[in-house]
Amino acid sequence: MAKRDIEGLDERSRAVLWAIIKSYIESPEPVGSRFLTRRYGFGWSPATIRNIMADLEEMGYLMQPHTSAGRVPTDRGYRYYVESLITERPDEDSSLMEELEREFQSVADDMDRLLGVTTDTLSKISRYLGLGVSPGAEGSVLRQVEFVPYREDRIAVIMVTEEGIIRHKIIKNDYGFSQGDLKQIAGYLNREFAGHTIKEIREHLVNEMISEKRKFDTLVERAMEIYRDFIYEYDSNIFLSGMTRILDLPEFTDLRQIKDLTRTIENKHALVKLIDQIMDSDGLQVVIGMENPVEELQGMSVIASTYSEGDRKAGVIGIIGPRRMNYSSSISLVETAARFLSNLYNEGGEGWKRGK
C-alpha cells in the first residue's frame, strides 16, 4: 500500500498520476510502467511504478482497458488532475484575445452574431467543439419593442434587449390594429416593461391575465395578448461550432460515438440540462465524462463558464472536447472568452455601457 495522507495522495503518486495524464492527453494510448520510466525518468524502476499504479487504480484514479494493457485515467483521475495537479495556468490567452478583438471589429454589435463568432473562434483555437449560449429569459432585459405593420393583416413584432439581441416574429393582426394603434401599444409596453427581464415580464403578463383581466381597456388587453404570444417563444440561442475539427481526433474512430455527437449537435435542445448546470454556478466549471447530465456527452468533457452583465449571469461560453482534453490551456481559453464577453457588456468601449 502506498502512503497516503488524509487530504490526498503522497508526492510520488501525484507525480505518477500527473505523468500518466499528461502523456495520455498527448496521445490516447494506455500508458505502461516501462514507458513512464523511459520518458519521465523518475528515480524509480518500472516495478515501483507498477506498485504505485496499482494503488492508484485501487483508489479509482486509473483503470486498465484490459488486463495486460497500460493504465488510462478515470473521470476521477482527471478530476484530481484538474483540481490539484494543474500548475501552469496562463492567466490570459493572448492569441485568443487578439483574434477576438479582430473579429469584433468586423462583426458590429448584434449580440447573437457576436456570440456566434466567439464560439467559432474558441473552437478554432482550441481545436475542440465550441459552445455558446445567449442570454435566456432570465438574463435578458427588454430594451424596446416595436410593431411594424406588414402586408394587409400581419404585424412584425420586433424586440431588442439590453444585451443587443434582436428577436422578431410575424403575428396575425386579427384585431385590425391601425398603425396608430400599434404605435400606442408599443409605447405602452415600452413604458411599462422596458428595463425588466423577459422572465419578469412573462410572469407579470400571466398575473395580469388572471387577476386583473377586465381592468384594462380592450386595446391594451389585446396588445398584451399579442405580446404574450410573442414573448413566450423567447429563448436562448445555442451555438455549436467545430464538429469537423473534433472528428479529426484519434478517438473518434467509432461510428457509434460520432452518431451520438451528431445527434446532440443537431438537436441542440438536448443540451439544456448541461447548460442549466453551468448557469447554476458562477464562473468556470469543468464537467468530466460521466459527471455530464447529458448522456450523449458522457464520453466527453466540458469546460464552460458563465459570462455576465453586471452581476447578472447572462449566458454561457465554453468548449466541449474529449475527456483527455488539454485542460489547462482550454481552461484559460474559456476564461479569456468569458472575460471578453463580460467586458463587452460592462465597460466595453464606445458607449456600450448600460444606460441603467
- Least distance from C-beta 259 to a second copy, angstroms? 5
Regarding 172 and contact with a second copy (CB under 8 A), the answer is: yes
Regarding 44 and contact with DNA (CB under 7 A), the answer is: yes
Q: HEC string of 335-347?
A: HHHHHHHHHHHHC
In the list 14, 22, 34, 202, the residue contacting DNA (rule: CB under 7 A) is 34
Q: Is 54 helix (H, G, I), strand (E, B) or coil?
A: helix
Site track 50-69 with DNA (rule: CB under 7 A), x = hit? xx-xx--x------xxxxxx
User: Count of CB atoms within 10 A of residue 172's CB?
Assistant: 11
| Strands (E) located in the chain | 62-63, 72-73, 129-133, 142-150, 154-161, 166-172, 238-241, 284-288, 300-309, 312-322
Regarding 255 and contact with a second copy (CB under 8 A), the answer is: yes
Size of the site for DNA (CB under 7 A): 26
Regarding 295 and contact with a second copy (CB under 8 A), the answer is: no
CA distance linking residue 29 with residue 269, whole number of Å: 33
For 339, residues 6+ apart whose C-beta sits below 8 A from its C-beta are 92, 307
Residue nearer to DNA on the CB measure, 65 or 283 = 65
- Least distance from C-beta 7 to DNA, angstroms? 19
Please choose which of DNA, a second copy, none residue 33 contacts, taking the beta carbon within 5 to 8 angstroms, the exact cut-off set by kind.
Answer: DNA
CA distance linking residue 80 with residue 66, whole number of Å: 23
Q: To 10 degrees, what angle do helices 11-26 and 46-58 make?
A: 90
For 252, residues 6+ apart whose C-beta sits below 8 A from its C-beta are 246, 258, 261
Residue nearer to a second copy on the CB measure, 57 or 120 = 120
Q: Is 206 helix (H, G, I), strand (E, B) or coil?
A: helix
Regarding 176 and contact with a second copy (CB under 8 A), the answer is: no
Site track 92-111 with a second copy (rule: CB under 8 A), x = hit? ----------------xxx-
Q: Which stretch binds a second copy (CB under 8 A): 1-9, 43-51, 199-207, 261-269?
A: 261-269
Query: Where does this chain bind a second copy (CB under 8 A)?
Result: 108-110, 143-144, 146, 148, 150-154, 156, 158, 160, 164, 166, 168-172, 241-244, 247-248, 253, 255, 258-259, 262-263, 265-266, 350-352, 355
